[in-house]
Amino acid sequence: MPETRACAPQCGAASEDQASGLRRLFNRRALRWQLVLQPTVRCAMHAQALADRVRDLAAHDGATLVIDAARSQVGLPLGLRLRYDLEHVLAGDCAIADTCVRAVPELWVLPAARALDRAAADEHHAARVAAALESMASEMRQTVLLLPAGRVAWLRHLPQSVRPREALVPILHNADASAAVLTAVRMAVSEAEIDTFRLLFLGMGEAAAGRLLSAMAAIAQRHFGATLLAAEALPPAGMGTSDRRCRHRPVENVS
């Protein structure tokens, strides 16, 4: 367990503690942020699909932080039982190492839904949350932010340099799910200036996914000026950047 016990409630001090604490866990600068936008219609299949995807991302690209601000329960399929969250850290109730938990090599999960809920009603707290998450993410190779569609406006608190410009959106094959995804797209376009969305189709074959994508893409382009694409499959874990990832960086288990 890394020695990251001190947590201060003030924004500057908390961010400094988080940055120094995570720096002892990781010695890597973030390459990118990825946004997963969670529509209101979802099921347990979402958690499993997202867990599989972030596990593959970490295996392929290296140190990955998953910020679950959508109560996606992505930790459950990864075998985690998460007791603390970001709000505990900001309140000074626990250390970063108690909250940011390693699931598998190169993959850490941070629950942050309560912090985002409070941030929606408190601009000062929203800025504190953004500063804390940016500090933690800066120690990683990549960060995956799971965000509910209703909280997408919070992204404006992130610096332009890391603010996501596109989003991955999971979608089931039913009418309610399609409407929920289009609602999420509309909100992201108007409130976060995101105009490209990659749909992760769950529980349907390629032909059905293709037909659904064609219909939804036409609606999104006509009404919102948004581009909808199919989410690309991830490369095999043994190829590409995985050969270059963090070979000489010691990794400590914080679970």
**pLDDT tens across 209-241, in order?**
999 999 999 999 999 999 999 998 765 544 333
Indicate the CATH number of 11-234 among 3.40.50.11740, 3.20.20.100, 3.40.50.1820, 3.40.50.300: 3.40.50.300
The residues with which 143 forms a beta bridge, in sequence order, are 33, 65
Cβ proximity of 147 and 35 under 8 Å:
yes
Cα angle: 106, vertex 166, 27; to 5 degrees: 25
What burial letters (b/e) apply to 34-68, b meaning 16+ CB within 10 Å?
A: bbbbbbebbeeebbbbbbebbbbbbbbbbbbbbbb
Find where tokens 């992204």 sit: 155
The predicted structure's pLDDT at residue 223:
97
The predicted structure's pLDDT at residue 135:
87
Residue 4: pLDDT band (50, 70, 90) is very low
The predicted structure's pLDDT at residue 8:
35
Residue 2 predicted with pLDDT over 70: no
Report how far residue 132's alpha carbon sits from residue 141's, in angstroms, rounded to the nearest whole number: 17
The residue ranges of every structural domain in the chain are 11-234
**pLDDT tens across 171-183, in order?**
987 778 899 999 9
What burial letters (b/e) apply to 141-157, b meaning 16+ CB within 10 Å?
A: bbbbbbbbbbbbebbeb
Structure tokens at 85: 């969250």
The predicted structure's pLDDT at residue 9:
36
Cβ proximity of 37 and 188 under 8 Å:
yes
DSSP tag of 236: P
